[in-house]
């Protein structure tokens, strides 16, 4: 799936004004000042916070004196509000577009990702992590990406097997991350860190530094079983991630897939961000031939699952996920899930006259 931005610099007489349209929001024309760092006018479409935010942080953090006004059109096949990084795809592609159009050199892929994360924090009011922006900016074809979120360092992990693919199934249950659930879990994890700090681990700054034995030792001190379960998910998810990398490198896809199933169970039971629809899709995939593993993806409360599987059985899985979907269980007004097959691809890059520039 791709997000594409096509456009030109704004005319000289209106160089400080950007005008954008999006195929995802037909009939809407976004217009905002491209020479300041003010918040988007609330009369403008809400999706405009993403390109406006990117424009603003590039002006501020790169000390741009001239406006970044553009006339541009956006088209994307990345499902919106589905936990597959549509907002990061828009941000990073728009940032890459600005860099090319205004000849902004010297912005490494990591810095671009961090600037886009800042834009989402400050202009979209979402305290997101760095995963989505990093994969959109630093991703490479035939590679997975291991991200050290504390050091802010991505590591490419070779993932090239013609017989193994990824199937994405969209439950079409929509979610928005500014509803408070995401922030609540961030605060719960921070509360767990503070308790660990005051019980023998003063230097600890993140749950990635903790072990399950250390967490278990402060279980009563936490005073809240929900906070314990949130922290347990984060600690064990880090363990699963490190283990999965080694299995992928060794092409041990069944072992990596089992970790995906365990991850979904933890997201459902400890982090409580799954939905009945996502649970059903994962359980259906669990029983299908050729599936190594499956789990929900994204921040939760709707969106997609991803399945790691043998290519020869992918079409059957996609058909089964739709054909067996119990609409009577989830409500007749619920849309059917939709699926697509994918592989890893390159992060954002410039395409000019049929020539791709990475």
Which sequence positions are flagged as catalytic? 132
Tokens of 51: 């390109």
Q: Within a 13 Å sphere around the CA of 296, how many CA atoms are in the beta-carbon half?
A: 28
CA distance 339 to 288: 15
Measuring CA to CA, how many Å separate 41 from each of 15, 30, 48, 156? 18, 10, 9, 39
Query: Which residues are registered as beta bridge partners of 31?
Result: 19
Question: What's the maximum distance between 2 C-alpha atoms anywhere in the chain?
Answer: 66
CA atoms within 13 A on the CB side of 318: 17
Task: Give CA–CA dist 196/30, Å, rounded.
Answer: 47
Residue 298 · residue 85 · CB < 8 Å: yes
Q: Give the number of other CB atoms < 10 A from CB of residue 86.
A: 24
SS3 331: coil
In the chain, the DSSP E strands lie at 3-9, 17-22, 29-33, 70-76, 143-148, 153-158, 164-170, 291-296, 304-310, 338-342, 350-352, 355-357
Which residues partner with 305 through β-bridges? 169, 296
Report CA torsion sign: 339, 344, 346, 351. Answer: negative
- Kindly state the tokens that stand for 232: 């347990």
- What does DSSP assign to residue 7? E
On whether the CB atoms of residues 30 and 20 are closer than 8 A, the answer is: yes
Report the candidate in 260, 114, 115, 273 with the shortest Cα–Cα distance to residue 186.
Answer: 273
Any idea what the Cα angle at residue 286 is, between residues 149 and 225, rounded to 5°? 50
């Amino acid at each position: 799936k791709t997000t594409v931005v096509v456009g030109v610099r704004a005319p000289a007489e209106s160089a400080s004004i950007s005008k954008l349209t999006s195929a995802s929001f037909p009939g809407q024309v976004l217009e905002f000042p491209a020479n300041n760092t003010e918040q988007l006018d609330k009369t403008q479409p809400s999706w405009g916070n993403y390109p406006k935010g990117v424009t603003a942080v590039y002006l501020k953090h790169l000390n741009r004196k001239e406006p970044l006004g553009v006339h541009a059109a956006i088209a994307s096949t990345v499902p919106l509000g589905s936990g597959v990084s549509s907002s990061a795809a828009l941000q990073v592609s728009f940032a890459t577009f600005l860099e090319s159009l205004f000849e902004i050199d010297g912005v490494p892929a990591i810095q671009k990702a961090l600037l886009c994360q800042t834009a989402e924090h400050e202009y979209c009011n979402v305290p997101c992590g760095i995963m989505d922006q990093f994969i959109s900016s630093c991703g490479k074809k035939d590679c997975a990406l291991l991200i050290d979120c504390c050091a802010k360092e991505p590591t490419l992990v070779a993932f090239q097997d013609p017989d193994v693919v990824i199937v994405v199934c969209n439950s079409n249950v929509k979610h928005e991350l500014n509803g408070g659930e995401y922030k609540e879990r961030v605060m719960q994890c921070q509360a767990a860190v503070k308790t660990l700090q005051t019980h023998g681990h003063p230097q600890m700054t993140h749950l990635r530094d903790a072990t399950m034995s250390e967490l278990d030792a402060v279980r009563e001190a936490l005073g809240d079983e929900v906070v314990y379960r949130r922290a347990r998910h984060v600690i064990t998810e880090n363990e699963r991630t490190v283990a999965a990398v080694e299995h992928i490198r060794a092409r041990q896809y069944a072992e990596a897939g089992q970790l995906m199933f365990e991850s979904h169970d933890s997201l459902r039971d400890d982090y409580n961000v799954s939905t009945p629809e996502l649970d059903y899709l994962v359980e259906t995939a669990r029983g299908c031939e050729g599936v190594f593993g499956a789990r929900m993806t994204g921040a939760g409360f709707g969106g997609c699952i991803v399945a790691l599987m043998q290519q020869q059985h992918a079409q059957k899985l996609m058909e089964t996920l739709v054909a067996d979907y119990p609409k009577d269980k989830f409500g007749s007004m619920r849309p059917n899930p939709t699926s697509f097959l994918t592989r890893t691809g390159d992060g954002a890059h410039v395409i000019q006259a049929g020539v791709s520039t990475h």
